[in-house]
Amino acid sequence: MTANPLAVRSTPIPGVLVIDLTVHGDNRGWFKENWQREKMLELGLPDFGPVQNNISFNDEVGVTRGIHAEPWDKYVSVATGRVFGAWVDLREGETFGTVFTHEIGPDTAVFVPAGVGNSYQTLEPQTAYTYLVNDHWSPEAQYTFLNLADETVAITWPIPLDQAILSDKDRAHPRLGSVIPFVSIDDADSCCGEQCHCSDQTHDEEGPTRVLVTGANGQLGRELMRQLPAAGFEAIGVDLPDVNIADMNTLAEIDWSAIDVVINAAAWTNVDGAETSEGRPQSWMANAVGPANLSRICSLFGILLIHVSSEYTFDGTQSPHREDEAPSPLGVYGQSKVGGDTAVSACPFHYIVRTSWVVGDGKNFVKTMAQLADKGVEPSVVADQVGRLTFTTDLAAGIIHLINCEEAEFGTYNLSNEGPEMSWADVARRVFELRGKNADSVTSITTDEYFAGKDVAPRPLKSLLDLSKIESTGFIPATAEERLVEYVASLA
């Protein structure tokens, strides 16, 4: 076997490179250096820093996979067999939709930048397709897909697709006209790394990071509008009736090119109202359609999206709730929040902040109990629902921490105040004490007893959130007791 010299060649798709590998063979078989960083960098291959090596083994001829564009770079080759490779540029820009095809054997490799759709079809049985990637696989990663049979890119597959072996998922991918182009943030060379979302003001020479807050008139929204400017951000607050996130026509009037971060604090929070025929569509529009609209826009413009979720996405049978717990909502409100969370998770750069029992500037349980204590009312309060309070002081501070923290990987984070779990009755008794009243004025009652004969939404009984993930990033919220004392004192 004659060994060809190592070489790197360009293709019609910018950044996609073909690597001719040197293969040494004799009667025993062959040997090659499949990846040789020093030599390949010298020939012009990017120093993409692979961290994971994967192998896909294919038994039969005609196995066809793709077209998948991931948010990381790939170096693809085969260990045994041969494949027909096809690549489509799915990145935003002038070359969107450009196609390149090439046959890959043991003597060839292809470098595929993030955002370029990758696909292949096996030409020999028992083909081992291998690829290096420069980021660890994550179930929360954002992919861009294209249908293998798309008529616009018109890939000429050696084995017609109606005779090939495809997965149902690959058959269902969208055509090019429905594909949202992959949008990359700044290249790693001009920014701070793979997890960077360019929110640190040191990266913006034109001015402070611009943060759009939806639901700016709510408890959390008001606190964010106070804390963001103090932290050096330019805060832009919007809310109903001027801006409805469920209405794309309204959102189209916003100059998204001027926004760096979106914090979605807008929500329909009338848990019982969501169970009615009038409230059900409103809950879904605000909690699912609205976040889906923001996710699509932020994906298109490369904007960091932070979305506030709820412990109502769970049925309250586990404690504490971890970020990776499967959704199990009991009612319409929780179901609509799961819909919004799912839509937001498709945004390449996102944080879902799940919280519980929020207390801030506005109508809330603690303020109501303080008012009852002052009036001498002796309330009955449920004692079988347990969790932790979340004061907007710490919720807003934790969100700002995520924006600034380069070490915080994108995904879901639980965020409440710290301390032991309490029931609603425990909180009420503590409020009565802080107002100088007898805690025994609060009578414990079960959830079933409290709502007997009433048409209300089901409540999760256990709302305690595991905070270890966000605390591992360096953010330790104050205890609920500390904040409760401060808050009740402020009501005087």
* Tokens found for residue 463: 């709302």
Note if 131 is an active site residue: yes
Catalytic residue among 75, 120, 129, 131: 131
Catalytic residue among 68, 197, 350, 401: 68
Peptide bond into 67 cis (omega under 30): yes
Residues contacting residue 469 through CB under 8 Å, at least 6 positions apart: 322, 323, 413, 414
Note if 307 is an active site residue: no
Active site members = 68, 131
